[in-house]
Amino acid sequence: MKKIANFLIIEQKNEIFTIYLTAELQDDLGTIGFLKFTNKKQLEKNDVVAKIEASKTVFSIKTPLKCRIIELNQLAEKDPKILNSHESDKNWLFKAKDIDQSEFDELEDF
């Protein structure tokens, strides 16, 4: 199941939630040249999880839901240009758990 919030796609597979940039946000940002993730693992809704510098703007990615980060896309931090890809196995930002299912269900369907 996929939902959308904060210009992010949130995909649920069992208890794991994977967060991606939407194509619209990719276009708005332009070519991404820098990505820095937060060091925090427990995040509240709208906490900044990453900062992106791109050809068109500087942007803070805010988590759409309270969550616990279980994995960051380290490859994207080393090579931020892969976030411009349309391949979901490359352009994800982070994976999370401990998201309230009812809050997730209330988000807009993607």
Residue 87 within a domain: yes
Q: What is the 3-state secondary structure (H, E, C) of the chain?
A: CEEEECCEEEEEECCEEEEEECHHHHHHHCCEEEEEECCCCEECCCCEEEEEEECCCEEEEECCCCEEEEEECHHHHHCHHHHHCCCCCCCEEEEEECCCHHHHHHCEEC
Give domain status of residue 104, yes or no.
no
pLDDT at 87: 85
What is the domain-level CATH number for residue 92? 2.40.50.100
In a domain, 32, yes or no: yes
Q: Which domain holds residue 76?
A: 2-98
Examine residue 68 and state whether it is found in any structural domain, yes or no.
yes
Task: Flag whether 63 is in a domain.
Answer: yes
Summarised one tens digit per residue, pLDDT across range 29-84 is 999 999 999 999 999 999 999 999 999 999 999 999 999 999 999 999 999 999 99
